[in-house]
Amino acid sequence: MTHGNRRLDIVLAVGLAALVLVPWYRIEGGFYGLGWLAEFPLSKAVAPGILQMVSEGRVWLFGVLGFFLMGAIARIVPDTEKRGALLVIAGSLGLGFLVLQGLAIGFSGWTWQATERLFGALADGQPSMGAGAVTMAFVFVLFISFGLAERGFMKGDAFIVSCISLLIFLVSVFVFYPIGSMMVGALQDFDGSFNPDGFIRNMRDPGIWSLDCVMGGGRCGVAWRTLFLAIMTAAGSTILGLAFALVATRTRFPFKKGLRLLTVLPIITPPFVIGLALTLLFGRAGVVTEFMSGVFGVEPGRWLYGLPGIWIAQVLSFTPISFLVLIGVVEGVSPSMEEASQTLRADRWRTFWRVSLPLMKPGLANAFLIGFIESMADFGNPLVLGGSHGVLSTEIFFAVVGSQNDPSRAAVLAIVLLCFTLSAFIAQRFWLAGKNFATVTGKGDSGAHIALPKSMSIAVHALVVPWMIFTVVVYGMILVGGFVKTWGLDNTLTIDHYVRAFSVSISNGSIAWTGVAWNSFWTTMEIALIAAPLTAAVGLLTAYIIVRQKFAGRNLFEFALMMSFAIPGTVIGVSYIMAFNLPPLEMTGSALILILCFVFRNMPVGVRGGIAAMSQLDKSLDEASMTLRANSFRTIRLVVLPLLRPAIRAALVYSFVRAITSISAVIFLVSAQYNMATSYIVGLVENGEYGVAIAYSSMLIVVMITVIAGFQLAVGERRLRRENRVAGVPLATSPSNPQEKAA
């Protein structure tokens, strides 16, 4: 039996199980609760697909069965070309039919008037797709993948083809379908009829495009305000992230561990908490404001509530992301190239400027792009500090949930935001096009990076040290806020907030979690720990495919993946509600919709970090593995992944943290059963319980630090046979040995 036949046999067995062994439609009580087993298979609600066709009168499902049998027939076709063609046809038609019937038939019958006029009324409709239907969809996708591999696509590598096909399918379902559902709704009246008037009116709105601030008049439109803020935030976070990465890797800074901790702290904090801390420091009644007023006579102002305050909060929040992207890139620059430059009598400044910094371009470009997109999509900081200076994300939020209730305006603003982010992505692609940044080749080197030039060292320390002090002050205010009675008003010390949030008691010999925050805390941990490895796996696999594989539509494929990150969380949350609240896929109120939202919202960070790291790995390492008859899966597992440990760690940390601290999308998707920490904290803030909110946030910070340390131990360090040291300045007494290194 060939490998191709064995793979196909497994998929056929899975498809048969989807038809016979599991419910075809969604189970109200949840599939994983296994409560449906008591009524399986005779009950109509939990019957498998084959019984839904035969005994429940849902004859349209025979089409799904027919295309599955077509794929089974392909198993016995001896000719490879014909078998591949038959598998592609069976998979494409089967998947198309499955999706079409799911969209066309709802709870009560046809959802489209045209189909009802064409085929007549249905006696019964169908619920949303369940385990059986979803599994069959994946079977059809694998049919397509195996068929393309049989016909020589991607050199017949079925693993790579399957990965590409599954990624395209998942991104289509969980990114494009929700956004498409929202866009279609924006072009419709309340009765479902086509009416683009609202869309056109909002597209021409001067509140979006006005340039009055440039012309000497009032205020610029929200689009230009958001663009300017995003550019400034991306530049600031990239420069600071590079400075932190250089200090951590190219200097003998004595507090490197503390530096790494401080760079991570802002990203593991709910954004509105940083906004509240900045308000306590720099607001009209803030500590710093009152000090400046009392000592220097400076009139208190409202400068914090606008673009300056948002910019400070965003740079504080997003610099850690840039650091996480850049640290692996800075570490990956080969010391042998720097040593070669010094051998040719270049000084340290020239070596850094002409050799080291150009090799960091992928990381710099990705850090800038991520900072730009994060700023565009940020919701928490503008909501707290924006005042009357709204940005695109907050305007979208108020267009959806505010008194105006204008979905067409939300769609227009989302399109504008998407155009900005895609333009930044295109500019990045042109900047890096046609250049090779590989520095890790499998050859040994001394392992000692050159020290920074003196002027550069002074400059990065001048940036890093004040920012570290500022971060410590901000988090000091947050820490104190959890132990005072009323934050900013009554500074009497107390632990009542922690007791109310996280009290524990012993009842009848068992532990009772009596604190008000425990329920949302355990739910948040469970969902975040499930979403983090899934996000990292999908993101890094995608990065490998983009960097190492060449296929038609690769650039479009990368564009599609970046779009999920470019869309603000507010839009993602609203679109998920509109798309997944009705058949064919109904997931609202479940943990699954939260997990999927986190995976596909945060996956692009793993993709960008993986691309930056993969760009530094010489392709000869893969080719050597292939020469030794290893397949793609084995090469990824044994060669690529060990060299991607910095990127893996960054993806795990980022996805875990964002799953806990995300607010813009989560606030629409939580339910009474699955309430996330951020939405619970927002509720506390709305009720004026700032102390409990700060205590909860502090607890989350401690937990996230612990889990991040666990990720560090689990993933480990990348080993390049290099020592963790910086080359010293050549000794005056040893001119013949300019490469002398100091521990």
SS3 sequence, 76-103? CCCCHHHHHHHHHHHHHHHHHHHHHHHH
The alpha carbon torsion through 291, 295, 300, 301 (nearest 10 deg) reads -90
Q: Are 634 and 625 in contact (CB under 8 A)?
A: yes
pLDDT of residue 559: 73
pLDDT of residue 231: 94
Helix (H) / strand (E) containing 647: helix 645-661
Look at residues 140, 154, 160 and name the one whose alpha carbon lies nearest to residue 89.
140
Q: CA angle, corner 512, sides to 509 and 516, nearest 5?
A: 170
Which residue type, as a one-letter code, is found at position 21? L
Phi, psi of 452 (to 5 degrees): -65, 150
* Cβ atoms within 10 Å, residue 691: 23
Token readout for 519 is 């329920």
The alpha carbon torsion through 354, 357, 358, 364 (nearest 10 deg) reads -160
Please tell me what DSSP assigns to residue 721.
S
The alpha carbon torsion through 147, 148, 150, 156 (nearest 10 deg) reads -150
Q: Is the dihedral of CA 149, 537, 664, 33 positive or negative?
A: positive
Q: How far is CA 654 from CA 337, 377, 572, in A?
A: 31, 16, 19
pLDDT of residue 543: 84
Look at residues 629, 294, 691 and name the one whose alpha carbon lies nearest to residue 486.
691
pLDDT of residue 386: 79
Residue 727 CB partners (closer than 8 Å, separation 6+): 335, 448, 449, 450, 451, 739, 740, 741, 742
| Strand-strand pairing, 725-727 and 510-513 | unpaired
Residue 687 CB partners (closer than 8 Å, separation 6+): none
Instruction: Tell me the average confidence (pLDDT) per consecutive run of 10 residues in the chain, 743 residues long.
Output: 74 94 88 83 89 89 94 90 93 95 87 80 86 95 94 86 91 88 72 70 82 74 90 93 87 78 73 76 78 80 85 88 82 73 74 79 84 82 79 80 69 80 76 58 56 82 88 81 74 85 83 86 91 86 82 77 70 82 84 90 78 76 78 78 77 81 80 85 77 84 81 64 52 42 36
Question: pTM of the prediction?
Answer: 0.77
R_g over Cα of the chain:
28
Query: How many residues belong to the chain?
Result: 743
Q: Which residue has the tokens 């002050």?
A: 473
Token readout for 41 is 């298979």
Phi, psi of 254 (to 5 degrees): -75, -15
Alpha helices in 567-618 (DSSP H): 569-579, 591-614
| Strand-strand pairing, 448-450 and 725-727 | parallel
Phi, psi of 119 (to 5 degrees): -110, -5
Residue 125 CB partners (closer than 8 Å, separation 6+): 105, 106, 107, 108, 109
Token readout for 592 is 């699954």
DSSP string, 108-176: SSBSSHHHHHHH---S-----B-HHHHHHHHHHHHHHHHHHHHTTGGGG-HHHHHHHHHHHHHHIIIII
